Amino acid sequence: MILWSIIPFLFSLTVINANDSNHTTTSTSSTTSSSSLYTTTDSLPTLYLTNRENKVYDYQLTVGDPNVTMKLRLDVQNNFCWLPAVDGFTTCATTTTAATTTSSSSGGSDISSVSSSSASTASTAGSLSDACASQGIYDIYNSSTGYFWSFSDGDEKTNRLSATPIFSIFANYIYIAGYYAIDDFQFPVSYENDTNTNIFVDTMMFINTNDSNVGTGGLGVGLVSDNGLSSNFISYMVQDELISTNSYSLALINNDSEYAELILGGINKSKYTGDFTLFDFIPVLDESMSIISENGGYSNDYPSIPISGLGVTSNSSGSSVKFSESYNDQLTTDSGTYPKPAMLDSRTFYNYIPYSTLIEIAVELNAYYAESVERWIVDCSIANAGTLDIYFGNETIHIPIGELIYPATSANGTNLTFKDGDNACFLAFLPDYQIGYSVLGTPFLRSVYLAVDNENRQLAIAALAMHASPPPIKSSSSSSSSSSTTTSKTKTKTKTNDKQVTSKTSTTTSTSSTHSLYPITSGTIPFAKSNNLTNYGQLTLTIPSSINATATIENSSIAFISNGEVLIGTEVPMRTSNSLQSSMSASGSYSSSSSGGANANAFGNVTDGVLDLFGMSWVFACLIVFLNWL
């Protein structure tokens, strides 16, 4: 087994002050906080992320020589930094949104421009003719510092056929195929001491990706990967002692005009309110071993958390309803009882929860199921009615309903309305039988402050303090000349390891004069307190090898879309109860549950609804393609 731990020795890492391009610093200053046993610091690098349609979050960086600017999507599940490559991707003919409304084949992940079925027709990693990327494409042949990489002899290659190939399926069903490669990266960051900086990483490992079912590359901050590699780009910062541990904290923002913050190596105490509650990662079992291929399909590397219940609170009355402690996810005939493990995922913009609990939410919010779009539809005016409450033992996250709905649009982009003219919205919840396990995506992550200690497989959550972020730093753009000869796969390159990197942009951020940053040290997330759940230590999040789910929709809970108008219940002629069945192969979730009936109503009343997404037969097609490719 080849471990990524050998890779940091391949690179040198330099920090360039954007306000003084000739100044290089790796210094750290710290003072002891008088209010706690923890140590404050101003040396934690912060990455600013762009909010895309309130769904996903992207980070802009530069790579190669000459510099190419790209945006990569934040991925808290996996460790890979992967780039759409010129061998398999083209620039999209028209500008596509970074988080397009997904079709029935894509569920709530950010699958957009690349068809999931296209892999079954590809004979090599570079044969997809319809793959396009709107956030940037990497051309290794045009970078004087870019090389393919071979693990067999531990050396760089100019020909991809001599490099180590990779095919990986992620737990959210995104897949990538390509080759290991190295190049120089620049990460624009900000520090609390009013300094904007470019962190320059020489010969950083990444995946030169020629095939994927998504068109935006990934910036992984997790541990999970393939072939025994368990590192991420943060490990380079640790290697150069810019931070002390492979850890981070995350404050996502729910407004397109603001920027989310990814803080490497520590936390910002001003970003949360209330208690900061600590949880160990929950083990994951992949029954098919198509996602987790080692250790019998077991892994303890995924950020996961135990949900102990859900409910709602009304803003007008202040009354709260907590849903049933049991659930039925329609995966088996058995019932389940909370707590139930859920995986965190920043590339999924829906929350996947048990079917029966979703029905309880639909009852409270007066939501209707529309089969034609495979979503629940609700009146957008419900946004200010109250909160959806998710319980994690002694930690409760109250999420405003407005954060859990998306504007409903038709295929041509027009807004959907109800018969009375009210705007329609999609509910950001789907039943977890679609993927086989529970997931908390960005609709949840936007309302929490998350800290993750990768080294100790622990995370902490608290309610996010809702205040505006400081102005973001501007990404640098160096115009250094390329010394490469861009001929083809056998080109000759001249590599300069002592290249001087400078920034052409300078922006100063204003921050509080009082320190609020605290480093995450080995085994300690500052201020995090233990949870009070005593019965989740034996939980395992299971990704089943097959999924067979059946659910029935009552006529009164069905919505029908006609000419941009949403008709409900008996407004739709000749509608009868509908039975949806899904049969999926390879990759899904936890086990069973029991049907929980609706409790006292806080908002409204409606009956059942259900959806069915996601055929997974393409997973096996991808594996066959990869074997042929090798």
Does the bond joining 400 to the residue before it have cis omega, within 30 degrees of 0?
no
pLDDT value at residue 496: 38
| Banded pLDDT at 470 (limits 50, 70, 90) | low
The amino acid present at 172, given as its one-letter code, is N
For residues 159 and 94, the answer to whether their CB atoms sit within 8 Å is no
Give percent of the chain with pLDDT exceeding 90: 55
Average pLDDT, stretch 268-278? Answer: 95
Torsion 416-418-420-423 (CA) sign: negative
Average pLDDT, stretch 302-312? Answer: 97
- Note the CATH architecture for domain 274-449+534-629: Beta Barrel (2.40)
Average pLDDT across the chain, whole number: 76
pLDDT tops 90 at residue 462: yes
Q: Which residue is it, tokens 């965190």?
A: 344
Length of the chain, please? 630
Contacts of 263 (CB under 8 A, 6+ apart): 44, 45, 46, 47, 248, 249, 250, 251, 517
For residues 42 and 517, the answer to whether their CB atoms sit within 8 Å is yes
Instruction: Tell me if residue 337 falls in helix, strand or coil.
Output: strand
Q: Which two tokens stand for residue 372?
A: 């034609």
The closest alpha carbon to 266, from 36, 38, 467, belongs to 38
Does the bond joining 66 to the residue before it have cis omega, within 30 degrees of 0?
yes
pLDDT value at residue 79: 93
CA of 153: how far to CAs of 9, 162, 163, 190, 583, in Å?
15, 10, 10, 38, 44
Q: Which two tokens stand for residue 283?
A: 């083990």
**CA pair distance 19, 196, nearest whole angstrom:** 7
Contacts of 235 (CB under 8 A, 6+ apart): 4, 5, 7, 8, 246
The closest alpha carbon to 149, from 12, 7, 9, belongs to 7
Domain layout of the chain by residue ranges = 4-24+40-266+467-520, 274-449+534-629
Contacts of 295 (CB under 8 A, 6+ apart): none
pLDDT value at residue 72: 97
| Pairing relationship of beta strands 458-464 and 386-392 according to DSSP bridges | unpaired
Instruction: Give the other-Cβ count within 10 Å of 538's Cβ.
Output: 7
| Banded pLDDT at 412 (limits 50, 70, 90) | confident
For residues 363 and 429, the answer to whether their CB atoms sit within 8 Å is no
The closest alpha carbon to 424, from 385, 369, 387, belongs to 369
Q: Where are the beta strands (DSSP E) in 192-283?
A: 195-212, 218-220, 247-251, 259-264, 266-268, 272-280
Tens digit of each residue's pLDDT (9 = 90 or more) over 525-579:
999 999 999 888 899 999 999 887 766 655 546 666 666 666 666 554 433 332 2
pLDDT value at residue 600: 40
Is residue 554 packed enough to be buried (19+ CB in 10 Å), middle (13-18) or exposed (0-12)?
middle
Q: Which two tokens stand for residue 15?
A: 């920090």
The closest alpha carbon to 248, from 51, 445, 398, 26, belongs to 445
Instruction: Tell me if residue 451 falls in helix, strand or coil.
Output: strand
Backbone phi, psi, residue 545, to 5°: -75, -20
| Pairing relationship of beta strands 284-286 and 541-543 according to DSSP bridges | parallel
pLDDT tops 90 at residue 459: yes
Average pLDDT, stretch 9-30? Answer: 41
Tens digit of each residue's pLDDT (9 = 90 or more) over 605-629:
322 222 222 333 344 344 434 444 4
Average pLDDT, stretch 194-200? Answer: 87
What's the predicted TM-score (pTM) here? 0.80
**CA pair distance 284, 297, nearest whole angstrom:** 8
Rg, the chain, Cα only = 24
CA of 152: how far to CAs of 137, 149, 157, 335, 539, in Å?
27, 9, 11, 49, 38
3-state DSSP: the chain helix, strand, coil percent, rounded to 5? 10, 40, 50
pLDDT tops 50 at residue 410: yes
pLDDT value at residue 225: 54
For residues 83 and 95, the answer to whether their CB atoms sit within 8 Å is no
| Banded pLDDT at 5 (limits 50, 70, 90) | very low
Instruction: Tell me if residue 184 falls in helix, strand or coil.
Output: strand
The closest alpha carbon to 609, from 434, 363, 334, belongs to 363
pLDDT value at residue 222: 94
For residues 465 and 458, the answer to whether their CB atoms sit within 8 Å is no
**CA pair distance 524, 2, nearest whole angstrom:** 29
**Intra-chain end-to-end CA distance of the chain, in Å:** 19
Q: Which two tokens stand for residue 503?
A: 């920034």
Q: Do the domains 4-24+40-266+467-520 and 274-449+534-629 sit in the same CATH topology, yes or no?
A: yes
For residues 542 and 287, the answer to whether their CB atoms sit within 8 Å is yes
Q: Which residue(s) pair with 63 in the sheet?
A: 68, 185
For residues 380 and 399, the answer to whether their CB atoms sit within 8 Å is no
**CA pair distance 441, 56, nearest whole angstrom:** 9
Cα maximum dimension of the chain:
74
**CA pair distance 177, 85, nearest whole angstrom:** 11
CA of 400: how far to CAs of 23, 71, 168, 424, 602, in Å?
45, 29, 36, 17, 14
Give CATH for domain 4-24+40-266+467-520.
2.40.70.10
Tens digit of each residue's pLDDT (9 = 90 or more) over 70-101:
999 999 999 999 999 999 999 987 644 444 43
pLDDT value at residue 473: 57
| Banded pLDDT at 297 (limits 50, 70, 90) | very high
For residues 536 and 569, the answer to whether their CB atoms sit within 8 Å is no
pLDDT tops 50 at residue 358: yes
